[in-house]
Chains A and B, each alone.
Chain A
Amino acid sequence: MKPYGLIAEFDTPAALLAAAEKVRDAGYRRWDVFTPFPIHGIDKVMGLKNSLAGWFSLAMGGGAFLSGMGLLWYTNAFDYPLIVGGKPMYSIPMSFVPSYILLVMGGAIGALVGMLALNQLPRLHHPLFNGSRFHLVSRDRFLLVIGANDDQFCAVKTRQLLEAVGGAHIELVEEEA
Chain B
Amino acid sequence: MAEATTNLKSLLPPAELQRAPVVENNRGLGLLTDQLSAFAEGKIPRWWWILFLPSAFCALVLLPVCLFYQVTTGVGVWGNNHPVMWGLDIVNFIWWVGVAHAGTLISALLFLTRQHWRTTIGRMAEAMTVFSVMMAGLYPAIHVGRAWFDWFMFPVPTYNALWPQFRSPLMWDVFAVNTYMMVSMLFWFMGMIPDFAVLRDRATTRVRKVIFGFLAMGWTGSAHQWHHYEKAYVVLSGLCTLLVFTVSSIVGLDFCTAQIAGWHATIFPLYFVIGAVFCGFGMVLVILIPLRKWCGLQDIITLSHLDKVAKLALVAGLIIDYIYAMEFFIAWYSGDPYERWVFGHRLFGHQYWFLGWTLIGINVLVTQLLWFKKIRRSLLALFIIGVLINIGMWTERFVIVVGSLYQDFLPANWGTYLPTRWDVGLYIGTLGTFFMLYLLFVKFLPMIAISEVKGATPQGNPHHPLGGAKGGRP
Contact = CB atoms under 8 A, between A and B. Distances in A.
Interface of A: 11-17, 32-43, 46, 48, 50-54, 57, 61, 71-72, 75-76, 79-80, 82, 84-85, 87, 94-95, 97-98, 100-102, 104-105, 107-109, 111-112, 114-116, 118-119, 121-126, 128-129, 135-140
A98 B222 CA distance: 38
B167 A85 contact: yes
Interface stretch (B90-98, B175-183, B286-294, B306-314): B175-183
Interface string B168-197: 110110011001001100110110001001
Interface majority SS (helix, strand, loop, mixed), chain A: helix
A123 B220 CA distance: 10
A86 to B, nearest CB: 11
A84 B170 CA distance: 14
B227 A79 contact: no
In the complex, which of the residues A52, A105, A136 has the most CB atoms of chain B within 10 Å of its own CB atom?
A: A105
B409 to A, nearest CB: 19
Contact of B460 (A13, A95, A97): A13
B340 interface: no
B232 A14 contact: no
B76 interface: no
Contacts of A35: 221, 223, 226
B294 to A, nearest CB: 25
A156 B421 CA distance: 78
A115 B231 contact: yes
B232 A128 contact: no
Interface in B204-224: 213, 217-224
Contacts of B235: 53-54, 57, 107, 111
B163 A33 contact: no
A23 B189 CA distance: 35
B406 to A, nearest CB: 26
A80 B231 contact: no
B29 A53 contact: no
A159 B133 CA distance: 53
B473 interface: no
19 contacts: A11-B468, A14-B468, A38-B226, A40-B463, A43-B223, A48-B224, A51-B227, A53-B228, A54-B235, A79-B163, A94-B167, A105-B183, A109-B186, A122-B218, A128-B220, A137-B220, A138-B197, A138-B200, A140-B30
Contacts of B169: 97
A52 B202 CA distance: 32
Interface of B: 28-30, 32-33, 155, 161-169, 171-172, 175-176, 179, 182-183, 186-187, 189-190, 194, 197-198, 200-202, 213, 217-232, 234-236, 239-240, 242-243, 246, 250, 451-452, 454-455, 459-463, 467-470
A88 B232 CA distance: 39
> 10 closest A-B pairs (Cβ-Cβ)?
A12-B468, A14-B468, A37-B455, A122-B217, A140-B29, A51-B231, A115-B232, A75-B163, A123-B218, A135-B201
In the complex, which of the residues B167, B213, B230, B452 has the most CB atoms of chain A within 10 Å of its own CB atom?
A: B167
Given A111-B239, A125-B218, 15 more contacts: A13-B460, A13-B462, A15-B468, A35-B223, A37-B226, A37-B451, A38-B226, A48-B224, A51-B230, A76-B165, A97-B169, A97-B172, A111-B232, A124-B218, A138-B201
Contacts of B226: 35, 37-39
A94 B179 contact: no
Nearest to B232: A115
A95 B29 CA distance: 50
A115 to B, nearest CB: 4
A100 B250 CA distance: 12
Contacts of B467: 12-14
A139 B31 CA distance: 9
A4 to B, nearest CB: 12
A98 B172 contact: yes
B229 A119 contact: yes
A136 B217 CA distance: 17
B166 A36 contact: no
